[in-house]
Chains A and B, each alone.
Chain A
Amino acid sequence: MEELIEKLKKEVIQQLNLEDIKPEDIAADSPLFGEGLGLDSIDALELIVLLEKNYGLKIEDPKDGKKIFHSIQSMAEYITANQKA
């Protein structure tokens, strides 16, 4: 899980063009939206694309997004639970 979390931090920084932010600046459990990294609605769509492109995971119900994209930790947990072996 730790390895996946570090990988996800790098992918999120790259995908969302978060210049001046380093992986160590992102706490795994801190919120990605709102007070955390201050991501916006377009970033949310980019995260959906990231999950599909890099992990083959499609979010079928948009309501699940809020929970899945709460933090890097929650994203990692979702990937671990849903990715095919």
Chain B
Amino acid sequence: MKLVIVSYAGITPYGIRINEQSRLPEEKFSTFAPFIKSLYKEEGINYPKFYKMDSLSKLGFLSAEVMMKVVNPALADPEKTGVVLSNAASSLDTDHAHQETIRNRSEYFPSPSVFVYTLPNIMIGEICIRHHLKGENAFLISRNFDSHLLYRYVTGLFQSRRVEACITGWVDLLKDQFRSLLMMVVPAEKAVIAEGRGSWFPFSTKTMDTLFNQT
């Protein structure tokens, strides 16, 4: 089965990249929190739960949000769209925040809203809730962006007919270091039926590495 990347989006401290377009943030920030809040407002999104998410989920949520805006809905049936994401830091950023609340026995007040984000796949859950995605999902940890790992996992899902579309990529954050790249992968045949001829990228390790290095 030939697979193609029909859209991709990435967020770095330098701004957003959506397909071939790069956009700089309207303001410059040296830390993640005001940066992502500013992007959220620039995108005109109204989703109050965004403010309650941890930083990793905010990054994944917003990356998915900007990408899904340019994805043809005919290509990704939410019932059969999977999500396979990866990163290096897992949920360590939030794990540290949780640890801070339980470090001192005399000030032992673990925060439930922090604790619930001490797993990186919660971020996938936030994306799935927002876009009603019900396909299979997985979160993989690797020291660096591992296009081979993602390629194997995602092609396996398509070959076993577990998904008909899949969001895959990298969403990594630790303190104020962050980077994301999300890609929407669909069978080439489906893309042709829905859109005729398009400028899609072949879903390959080489393409993923190129897109990752561009964002």
A binding-site residues for B, Cβ under 8 Å: 16-20, 38, 42-43, 45-46, 49, 52-53
B binding-site residues for A, Cβ under 8 Å: 48, 51-52, 109-113, 116
A-B contact pairs, 16 of them (CB 8 A): A16-B52, A17-B52, A18-B51, A19-B48, A19-B51, A20-B51, A42-B112, A42-B113, A43-B113, A45-B112, A46-B111, A46-B112, A46-B113, A49-B111, A52-B109, A53-B109
Bound together, the chains give a CA A43 to CA B52 distance in angstroms of 10
Main secondary structure of the interface of B (DSSP, over half): helix
Distance to closest chain B CB from A63 (angstroms) = 19
Select from chain A the residue with minimum beta-carbon distance to B53: A17
Bound together, the chains give a CA A49 to CA B112 distance in angstroms of 8
Bound together, the chains give a CA A49 to CA B107 distance in angstroms of 12
Distance to closest chain B CB from A27 (angstroms) = 18
Distance to closest chain B CB from A77 (angstroms) = 23
Bound together, the chains give a CA A20 to CA B49 distance in angstroms of 12
Select from chain B the residue with minimum beta-carbon distance to A52: B109
Bound together, the chains give a CA A85 to CA B208 distance in angstroms of 64
Cross-chain contact B116 with A42 (CB below 8 angstroms): yes
> Would you list the 3 A-B pairs with minimal beta carbon distance, nearest first?
A45-B112, A19-B51, A53-B109
Instruction: Report which residue of B109, B110, B116 has the largest number of chain A beta carbons within 10 angstroms of its beta carbon.
Output: B109
